[in-house]
Amino acid sequence: MLKTQTRHAIDPATAKTLDTDQLRDHFHVGGLFVDGEINLVYSHYDRLILGSAVPAGKALTLDKVDATGTATILERREMGILNIGEAGNVTVSGQTYELGKGEVLYIGMGAGPVTFDGAGRFYVLSAPAHQTYPTTLITLKDARRVEMGARETANERVIIQFLHPEVCKSCQLLMGYTQFAEGSVWNTMPAHLHDRRMEAYLYFQLPEDQRVFHLMGEPDQTRHIVMANEEAVISPPWSIHAGAGTASYTFCWAMAGDNVDFTDMDMVAMGDLR
């Protein structure tokens, strides 16, 4: 029912030497959403955990995870849960929350075991925490929307922010997702870095026969990873994170690190990319 794996952090000099399979072994996360399973990846970049829970008709409980070395996963952590499926339930601290499609539940440190049930397909993110904030259900009407880009540059999109200082307090976990208008495919371009925070992406709402080319690496040493629907990727603090799809898609972004300032980023000029 619970499957976990660990991804160790590597430096940019090592990343330059990796071939396609090695890049995928370190950064690509596939096979997440499996009926009746909880799948977690423990990353050594800022100790972020990303994963999934798909109840598929039976309750699944997330409690002890050996990689954290604590009695329960939330003993010293906070969590954000995004439902990318039909309506489903998450129960924590004796209270049940119904998450509709596209809604997010924030769970504060110390809340105890988390149980998933119903028809939801839950994307799970967790980062170390130093303070407890209230468990909060964030609906689409509660989220902050930022419209960006243009049709002419193929990046017309809306950024929907859930775990953000203006929406829901958290210790260090920032989380939301970006949706593209029909015909737009480019994300986060011009590219940027934020060495103070790592990031993870989940690509979803992408047709099964289409792909996203996720760009990573130092600005002058770019690489790419080909992503299918409902696959995730770990983005190190030293790496750009950008990409383009063969069709429109949505991606969930999550960050953990030194601050929760969404705009804290170092822009990379187009002419500096290699």
Binding residue ranges for Zn(2+): 192, 194, 199, 241
Tell me the C-alpha distance between 253 and 200, whole Å: 6
Tell which residue, 6, 254, 252, has the closest CA to residue 121.
252
| Bind-site residues | 192, 194, 199, 241
Distance of CA 111 to the CA centre of its chain: 21
User: Which tokens in the block code for residue 258?
Assistant: 């030194």
Tell me the C-alpha distance between 76 and 151, whole Å: 44
Q: Which one-letter amino acid corresponds to residue 264?
A: D
Is residue 128 within 8 A of residue 74, CB to CB? The reply is: no
Q: Which one-letter amino acid corresponds to residue 234?
A: I
DSSP 221-265: EEEEEEE-TTEEEEE-TTS--EEEESS--EEEEEEEES---TT--
Tell me the C-alpha distance between 44 and 51, whole Å: 14
What is the SS3 assignment for 20? helix
Place of tokens 């103070």: 196
Tell me the C-alpha distance between 255 and 127, whole Å: 9
Is 221 exposed, middle or buried, given 0-12, 13-18 or 19+ CB atoms closer than 10 A? middle
Distance of CA 30 to the CA centre of its chain: 13
